[in-house]
Amino acid sequence: MQTEKNGQNIKMPYTAALATLRGLMLIGLLPMAGSMGLRALGHDGSAYLPFLIIGTILCAILGFCWGIIWVRSRVLAGRMREFLNSDRPLMRWTYTAGEWQRLRETAWQSEKDVWQFQMGCLSVLFALTGLLTGVMVGADEGWAEAVVGAASGLGIGLLVGGGIGGIVAGLNHGVARRAYHDEVPAQVALGWQEILFDNEYFRGNGMTRFIRSAELGEGYPPSALVFEIYWPQFRRGTEQEWVISVPPRVLRTLEETLPAVIGSPPDAP
Task: Give the pLDDT band of residue 1 (cuts 50, 70, 90).
Answer: very low
Most confident of 35-44, 53-62, 95-104, 229-238: 95-104
Dihedral angle, C-alpha 105, 165, 20, 201, nearest 10 °: -50
Asked whether residue 6 carries a pLDDT value surpassing 60, the answer given is no
Of 91 and 135, which is predicted with more confidence?
91
pTM, entire model:
0.69
Exposure letters 176-204 (e unless 16+ CB within 10 A, then b):
beebbebeebbbbbbbbbbbbbbbbbbbb
- State the CB neighbour count (10 A cutoff) for residue 124: 15
CA distance 85 to 82: 5
Angle at 223 between CA 221 and CA 229, to 5 degrees: 115
Give the C-alpha distances (Å, rounded to integers) separating 47 from 32, 44, 52, 53.
13, 6, 10, 12
Higher pLDDT, 133 or 8: 133
**Distance between CA atoms of 255 and 59, rounded to whole angstroms?**
49
Residue 137 is predicted with a pLDDT of 60
Give the DSSP per-residue string, 25-69: HHHHHHHHHHHHHHHHTT--GGGGHHHHHHHHHHHHHHHHHHHHH
How far apart CA 51 and CA 46 sit, in angstroms, is: 10
pLDDT of residue 17: 82
Residues 189/83, Cβ–Cβ less than 8 Å: yes
For the four alpha carbons of 133, 139, 141 and 145, in that order, the dihedral sign comes to: positive
- Say what the alpha-carbon torsion angle 12, 1, 107, 114 is, to the nearest 10 degrees: 90
Helix axes of 114-139 and 143-180: crossing angle, nearest 10 degrees: 160
User: Which pLDDT score, from 0 to 100, does residue 67 have?
Assistant: 93
Question: What are residue 3's DSSP bridge partners?
Answer: 10
* Mean pLDDT along residues 185-191: 92
pLDDT band of residue 3 (cuts 50, 70, 90) is very low
For the ranges 44-48, 171-175, 208-212, 255-259, the lowest mean pLDDT is seen at 44-48
Comparing 18 with 168, the larger pLDDT belongs to 18
The confidence score (pLDDT) of residue 58 equals 80
Helices (H), 41-142: 49-84, 97-111, 114-139
Taking all residues of the chain, what is their mean pLDDT, rounded to a whole number? 77
pLDDT tens, 145-183? 767 666 776 676 667 666 666 777 777 777 777 777 788
In which order are the strands placed within the sheet that holds 223-233? Answer: 210-218, 223-233, 237-246
Report, as an integer, the average pLDDT of 92-113. Answer: 83
Q: If phi over 0 gives left and psi between -120 and 50 gives alpha, with beta otherwise, what is residue 216? A: beta
User: Where are the domains positioned within the chain?
Assistant: 1-86, 98-185, 187-262
Q: Are the CB atoms for 111 and 176 separated by under 8 Å?
A: yes
Specify the pairing of strand 200-203 against strand 223-233: unpaired
CA angle 109, 10, 90 (to 5 degrees): 95
CA distance 221 to 187: 15
Q: Which tens digit of pLDDT belongs to each residue from 55-95?
A: 788 888 888 999 999 999 999 999 999 999 999 999 999 99
Measured CA to CA, the distance from residue 193 to residue 111 in angstroms comes to 30
Residue 193 has what pLDDT?
Answer: 93
